[in-house]
Amino acid sequence: MNDFEKVNEAVDIIEICENNNINFNKIHNNNYIGKCPFHDDNNPSFSVNKEKKVFNCFGCDNKGNAIQLYAKLHEISDYEAMKILANKYEVNINSKSFNYSKETNKEKKNIKKIYKNIARIAHNELLSNNNIAYRYLKDRKIKDEIIIRYELGYLNDKNNIYDQLLKLGFGKNEIYKTKLFNNRKFILNNRLLFPIFNYKNEVIQFSGRDLFDNDTAKYINSRNCLINKGNCLYNIENHDGRQKHKIIVEGYFDVLALAQSGINNSLAIMGKDITPAQYLKISNLTKKIILWLDNDKPQVVRATYKAYKELVDRGLTVKFVYFSDNEDPYDTCLKCNFQIKKLLKKSVINFDTYFLKTYEKLIDTSSIFLNEELSDLINEIASYCTNDELLNIFNSIERKHSIKISKIRNKICNYNNKTLESIGFKRFDEIPNCYYYYKKKYYVYALEIGELFHISRLPTKKEIKKYNVLSNRIIEEDNRIIIDKTCIEDVEKYIENLI
């Protein structure tokens, strides 16, 4: 048994998963099933075998053993993962083993060195000449202090970065392995250059912004050589464990503007959607999140709802910031003269408030089908609302659109503690004078408040026995369970009219 096998044998693969916030929906024999951390997995397709110490995703085809899983999760080589896990699980290994991975690791180190030199040269070029990139940053009110802190850069054809790297001792093959050059030409020339760092403060990606507002792409990213950009978080190198929370924003300039305002705990997802890898990174950094994402388009608002759900599912506390429809964090900082710190403390809101400010972007409020559209939308978000939030949403929508709240509640309130609490009752057994009726679907009618709710099933005998308040009042009649015969005829007419 070689060192790699020895370490893998000692590792607890389930512990690796749990330490990286991978949750499992079900366990069958030794197979643990959950959502894949490597792709957007709506239908859990990630399988881990505890005994064999292997994982496999049937959605994105990622597979391997415990060491390889750790390496993928932490974006390091298998060799680095083996050394870390050997130390953690107290396994003695031969330092000369696993030569192939060492070679691969050496190649990655060379690429990182080239990236570092490109970032340095580009940064010096930006600061040394009054070039278009520097003027662009000044037009956007970004100070030199921030330009230096984030090592922003600029290169053009005259810089001939390829020859400069040769003079520094890098070989042609090493330079081309960075995938940053096309026939000796740097692919991000004539763009504002954003180096993207990992938590070790190593440059692992570049993104270049167009400076001419022409028909070309606003941003072009370096090709995936060390890591996919979707696995990165901009500003992660400035993470401080003492920070109580993280502010999640979309873009580079959001981070720059917030930093210029003295707010240094932001992370940019560099896009509209948070990727599975980014969810994993965020949940490993903090347990408290403030989402400050754009809200000007329906697809972005829906993506924010989804982000909230995913983060809450991972056990994070999530709040929101909302100022106006068309202002992102950069615009808000600029508008407030970059004095956003005090204002931000007063502007953090819960999900229900954010939902009530944004839901009309997703529906047609003039539609004759407004009830149905609202019902469908609330049904989407109800599962990850707290009871108080859901009740606030109901009441606010009722007031605004003059809709009877029961019409919305009927569709989304199922038989479980959470939704019963949301309608004003703490537990199932506290609903007074209930009537259960079966006709392909089950319903519960609360006589005291005169409202009907759809439930997913009838209570079991065990549950009936548990709720003493009901046990002596239940009568079974022809596929019906009646709790107290009071007003049966009126209730039946009411139900028949609804269904």
Q: What is the mean pLDDT of residues 475-496?
A: 44
Most trustworthy range by pLDDT among 29-43, 57-71, 216-230:
57-71
Q: 3.60.21.10, 3.20.20.330, 3.30.2290.10, 3.40.1360.10: which CATH number matches 236-360?
A: 3.40.1360.10
Distance CA 451, CA 411 (A): 12
Sequence length of the chain is 499
Q: 386-401, pLDDT tens digit by residue?
A: 767 877 888 888 788 8
Give every CB contact of residue 148 below 8 A, 6+ residues apart in sequence: 123, 127
The lowest-confidence range among 22-26, 195-199, 372-376 is 372-376
- β-partners of residue 49 are 31, 54
Q: Would you state the pLDDT for residue 404?
A: 65
Rounded to whole angstroms, the Cα distance separating 304 from 382 reads 15
Query: Please, which contacts does 4-9 make with residues 24 or more away whose CB atoms are closer than 8 Å?
Result: 4/67, 4/78, 4/82, 4/97, 4/98, 6/91, 6/93, 7/67, 7/82, 7/85, 7/86, 7/89, 7/91, 7/93, 8/53, 8/65, 8/66, 8/67, 9/53
Going by C-alpha positions, the residue among 61, 66, 181 that lies closest to residue 114 is 181
Q: Which residue ranges make up each domain of the chain?
A: 3-88, 100-231, 236-360, 413-499
Among residues 257, 267, 275, the alpha carbon closest in space to that of 291 is found at 267
Q: Tell me the whole-structure pTM to 2 decimals.
A: 0.73
Give the chain's largest Cα–Cα span: 93
CB-based contact 34:50 (threshold 8 Å): no
Is-same-fold flag (3-88; 236-360)? Answer: no
Out of 3.10.20.30, 3.90.580.10, 2.170.150.20, 3.30.9.10, select the CATH number for domain 3-88. Answer: 3.90.580.10
Please name the amino acid found at residue 420: L
Q: In this structure, what token pair is assigned to residue 343?
A: 């204002």
Q: How confident is the model at residue 494 (pLDDT cuts 50, 70, 90)?
A: very low
Asked whether the predicted pLDDT for residue 161 surpasses 90, the reply is yes
The helix, strand and coil proportions of the chain, stated in percent and rounded to the nearest 5, come to 45, 20, 35
Place of tokens 């754009």: 294
- Residue at token pair 């899983």: 69
> Given CA atoms 454, 460, 461, 464 in this order, what sign does their dihedral have?
negative
pLDDT value, residue 188: 94
- What pLDDT shows up at residue 478? 42
Q: Which CATH superfamily is domain 100-231 in?
A: DNA primase, catalytic core, N-terminal domain (3.90.980.10)
DSSP for 334-368, please give it. Answer: HHTTT--HHHHHT-EE-HHHHHHHHGGGSS-TT-T
Measured distance CA(420)–CA(135) in Å, rounded: 59
Q: Report the share of the chain in percent with pLDDT over 90.
A: 38
Rg, C-alpha atoms of the chain: 28
